[in-house]
Amino acid sequence: MTKVIGLISGTSVDGIDAALVDITGSQTNLTVELLTALTYPYPDNLRSQILDICSGASISIAELAELNDTIAQEFATAALIINQKYAVNAELIGSHGQTVYHRPPSQQLGYSLQLGRGEVIANLTGITTISNFRAADIAAGGHGAPLVPCVDVHLLGHPKYTRCVQNLGGIGNVTYLKNQPFWGSQNSIPPLPVYMGKVKSKKKEELVTTLADTQGVLGWDTGPSNTLLDLAVQQLSQGSKTYDKNGEWAATGRPCQELVEIWLKQDFFQQKPPKSTGRELFGKDYLLKCFSDGEKYHLSASDILATLTELTAASINHSYRNFLPNLPDQILLCGGGSHNLYLKKRIENLLAPIPVMTTAEVGIDVDFKEAIAFAILAYWRSLEIPCNLPEVTGAKSQVMLGEIHQPITRNKGIAE
């Protein structure tokens, strides 16, 4: 058994999600056990600085270097806290880092910058750390995203049901898992309830999955999700709110379908996969354009928010109906947006009669699925197993993901 910590902060920049898992097996015979998980919030000033950079604020090389190491220190702290909380010495860390820039490939190679140096995390924790997961896929001509579909195969592939795993993070992305008779995932990692960043432990359970190959797996970014909605809430509330809890504010409005149809004609939504996106496209500038477009419709604040929520749901519906070989038997939501009940309702209505559930209903915590995924990706990298999917990312070949950083001094108690 290998105890691995997965770390990630998404494009919403809410904080660092950390998951401690126990993994045995390899690519074709994987056992994963979630031990504990938590969210470690960024200090307010650091979060503000990250959001400014993501929005295009100028920064010097010296400031960027300092920010890089500051983020690494926060990631290391999150890892140490979860390690100490469970009173165990993890043997490996998989750190996604904090994305501050993402450029999809076009006439030139793409580029994706994640801050939080893995070598710093390794030395601060004394634990071997794997980071910079996207670079190798991008160098091979891919988008470097999404990377989680290979993990979704192991955790959520089903012998009977074709599934779409729809992540609703800062950006929405989908994994399409065509049912295969050799996929055995019926039960999954048990969810652990999180209260104020702390974990209330439950009895541990195990998931055993086997995989012959990744036949029929597709994936891509579907469009904006929490990033755009959270920015809108902050603007419309004059900063008194940071997000629309449960989608309650949007639910009081009426979406402008004409405006949504206009937005869906934009290039990104019409582009065929492979494709990826980020705050560079769906950030503050895009939101201001949406506000401007909505002025002639005389929309209230709740109407605007309902319309932006509708865009997220409609972009998912558009992606499924235009780019999937067949509609799925089940849709499994995960990520922070899965708590948005109004958004979930709109997805259900647009894709009826397909049942829309959350990954929690099949055993995987919606808030820590990505952190679990990067723990697994790190585990595979330690075994030198290539785990990008070229049909998903657009890369020319399969490559090993992540750079390995050994600590100068091992964390005490780690078996050599």
Known binding positions for ATP: 10-17
Residue 186 contacts residue 155 (beta carbons within 8 Å): no
DSSP string, 135-169: HHHHHTTS-----THHHHHHHH--SS--EEEEEES
Phi first, then psi, for residue 120 (nearest 5°) are -70, -45
Residue 18 contacts residue 106 (beta carbons within 8 Å): no
Contacts of 205 (CB under 8 A, 6+ apart): 33, 187, 189, 190
Residue 263 contacts residue 311 (beta carbons within 8 Å): yes
d(CA 260, CA 249) in angstroms, rounded, equals 18
116: enclosing H helix or E strand = none
What is the CA 82 to chain-centroid distance, rounded?
20
Residue 8 contacts residue 96 (beta carbons within 8 Å): yes
Residue among 44, 39, 115, 142 nearest 81 (CA) = 39
Question: Amino acid letter at 225?
Answer: S
Residue among 8, 100, 105 nearest 57 (CA) = 100
d(CA 406, CA 92) in angstroms, rounded, equals 10
d(CA 20, CA 91) in angstroms, rounded, equals 11
Binding residues: 10-17
Q: Where are the beta strands (DSSP E) in 105-262?
A: 111-115, 129-131, 163-168, 171-177, 194-195, 198-199, 207-210, 217-224
User: Any idea how long the chain is?
Assistant: 416
- Which tokens hold the place of 387? 């785990």
d(CA 364, CA 335) in angstroms, rounded, equals 11
